[in-house]
Structure 1
Amino acid sequence: MSVLRIGSFTASPRNPAVMAVVNRSTDSFYVSHDSTDAAVAEAVRAWEQGARVVDIGGVRAGRGPEVTFGEEIDLVCPVVEALHTRLPELVVSVDTWRAEVGEAVVHAGARILNDTWAGVDPALTTVAGRSGVGLVCSHTGGLPPRTDAHRNSYGSVSTDVLADVRRGLQVLVDRARAAGVPDERIIVDPTPDFGKNTRQSLLLMRELGTLTAGDHPVLLAISRKDFVGEATGTADPAARLPGTIAATALAVDAGVSLIRAHDVAATVQAIDMVRAVRGWAPPRRSVRGLV
């Protein structure tokens, strides 16, 4: 069984953890925090609700105004530094594809670099290996940062997307190993929506078990995403929580180790339910019919 280990923190297929989303970008598709204090307060609230990892983002994943690497550092580093001091048990991750940002946030206390754009800057992998932090290897179908899939094709049949995901992730895993990142700190993310249409993302969801059976823990970032909205006919991200929780439960059942989520309390409850039903963990409370 693949186990993620970052210091004393662990996560595994039958004991997954929640990675809370905290955005310092000003134009996130769902929720942004307009100050360091607001972002830190949200991270503390997520910790209190059960998140053990928090992912700080300074640049919106989709199209939007340019953000220089210096501006990105100014947005995320104060949050990382504050959390490192206030909640040293909390694992701080930073969502970035830039090596300059990676260097800065690791120095500030980040312990995971969440490279959501598939190694577009290979030097970020070098930073992870040299610094001893975790690294998320993501699949985006070859797209450059901050672009959206448009009539993308992975082969002659739709199922070829899974083979492309596996090949792309393996390339990044090999690069991470060569840079000195240990297997227990290499995380793979098939990245629904990134470089994929809704049908391709749903196919990945059905085939998660083929990825979780591999050598590395799987991160799934599905919270309120477009494929959830299109599958359920909910255009407004604010209305996508029920679909997100359903997909989360399926992902946990398939063996995902890390769930990236906006809604921590609901996600923790979904994880608890799957684990209890499967017999992976006892109920948090069991008094009905006994007292």
Structure 2
Amino acid sequence: MSYYRPLVRSGEARPEGAYPLAGGALWFSEVEILDRGAPARVVPAGLVPEEDRRRLTARRASIAGLDMSTPQIMGILNVTPDSFSDGGKLADAEMACAVGLQMIADGATLLDVGGESTRPGAELVDENDEVARVRPAIEALRAQSDVPISIDTRKAAVAMEAMEAGADLVNDVSGFTYDMALAPLSAQAGVPVCVMHAQGDPATMQDEPVYDNVLLDVYDFLAEQVDRLEAIGVVREQIVIDPGIGFGKTLAHNLTLLKNISLFHALGCPVLLGVSRKRFIGTIAEEDNPSARVPGSIAVGLAGIAQGVQILRVHDVADTAQAVRLWQAVR
């Protein structure tokens, strides 16, 4: 099996034979062909098989009403006591709502509400406790804003409560492998979903993760899960994919995925990138304090946007929104 990674470019001066990436302003005229056990090679994009080229070039459908041809910013709203960067800061629904509304004012076009920490080493949260954390926050937000809300959960019972409260999208860090009832529920509800790759669960995922080829292994997992979701009734055009930076990956694994993230456009789905304040940024930047990793988070996020990533999941909305506006202005 061959894999096709577009070599993404920007600018109005396009060579003959260039193709739009995912129907947006970026484009590519060459692709890197990857095969397991064979050297990579670069070829003209016109040599890519028609179906693979169609998935690379087709305009992405809107997700929860958001235009996927321009970068979108997902604000992280953790109503947890122990998230790695901001755990315990949003103690009640009123405070969570206030922070969420400020994120919207700062430029967030989507909010991701989570009630279970997925930091390395985190323990499982009882679903009733998780519901008690997320439902009041979602209800409070929905009463004051129509900005799309994502529920960050692995559990069908939590997702159902969240959708009843007004959530528009299901974001599962397990890639719909933890609770087998969550995918059918999402299909029945007709909501968009985000499928993330993680090796292992949060409690053990950083215990010496190993891959044959991290880029292709993650791609294959996401491809399989997208096909499975489509088979049970989730519309493919409403599936977002996330390579899961920091979830069961070493520093080298993370950098390999980030350098080659344009490969995931070949799945024909919008790509979400979540790197905000993560440990690998602190390692490279020599910064132990997660809240001081904003510059590094923005740098990696812009590198992802330059490869066509459609959604950035971030803690620092105002800083990221400003950086994205400037990136777009000088692109």
2:85 is aligned with 1:30: yes
Q: Which string of whole-angstrom CA distances, capped at 9 and with x for unpartnered residues, describes residues 262-281 of structure 1?
A: 00011111211222222xxx
2:229 is aligned with 1:190: no
* CA distance, structure 2, for counterparts of residue 7 and residue 239 of structure 1: 32
The aligned counterpart of 1:140 is: 198
Equivalent residue in structure 1 for 2:316, among 263, 272, 276: 263
What pairs with 1:70-149 in structure 2 (closer than 5 Å)?
70-88=128-146, 90-119=147-176, 120-141=178-199, 143-149=200-206
Q: Is the 8 A contact 1:6 1:111 kept in 2?
A: no
Q: Which string of whole-angstrom CA distances, capped at 9 and with x for unpartnered residues, describes residues 62-90 of structure 1?
A: 334542101100100111112122102x0
The aligned counterpart of 2:74 is: 19
Counting matched residue pairs gives 270
Flag the 1:207–1:226 CA change in 2: closer, same or farther, 3 A.
Answer: same
2:259 is aligned with 1:206: yes
* CA distance, structure 2, for counterparts of residue 150 and residue 8 of structure 1: 39
Runs of 4+ in 1 over 4 A off after TM superposition: none
* CA distance, structure 2, for counterparts of residue 81 and residue 4 of structure 1: 27
* CA distance, structure 2, for counterparts of residue 241 and residue 230 of structure 1: 14
Letter in 2 for 1:93: S
* CA distance, structure 2, for counterparts of residue 74 and residue 34 of structure 1: 12
Q: Secondary structure of 2:62's partner?
A: strand
* CA distance, structure 1, for counterparts of residue 142 and residue 261 of structure 2: 33
Q: Is the 8 A contact 2:92 2:137 kept in 1?
A: no
* CA distance, structure 2, for counterparts of residue 27 and residue 8 of structure 1: 32
Q: Secondary structure of 1:8's partner?
A: coil
Question: Where does the alignment leave 5 or more consecutive residues of structure 2 unmatched?
Answer: 1-21, 23-58
Q: Which string of whole-angstrom CA distances, capped at 9 and with x for unpartnered residues, describes residues 38-72 of structure 1?
A: 11001000000110100001011033454210110
TM-score, structure 2 length as denominator? 0.79
Q: Secondary structure of 1:152's partner?
A: coil
TM-score, structure 1 length as denominator? 0.89
Letter in 2 for 1:262: H
Letter in 1 for 2:73: V
Q: Secondary structure of 2:208's partner?
A: coil
* CA distance, structure 1, for counterparts of residue 235 and residue 259 of structure 2: 29
The aligned counterpart of 2:110 is: 53
Identity over aligned pairs, percent: 34
Flag the 1:38–1:224 CA change in 2: closer, same or farther, 3 A.
Answer: same
Give the superposition deviation at 1:128: 1.0
The aligned counterpart of 1:229 is: 282
Q: Which string of whole-angstrom CA distances, capped at 9 and with x for unpartnered residues, describes residues 76-106 of structure 1?
A: 0111112122102x00001100111111111
* CA distance, structure 2, for counterparts of residue 210 and residue 65 of structure 1: 32
**Larger relative contact order (Cα-Cα within 8 Å, sequence gap ≥ 6):** 1
* CA distance, structure 2, for counterparts of residue 244 and residue 64 of structure 1: 22
Flag the 1:107–1:92 CA change in 2: closer, same or farther, 3 A.
Answer: same
* CA distance, structure 1, for counterparts of residue 220 and residue 123 of structure 2: 32
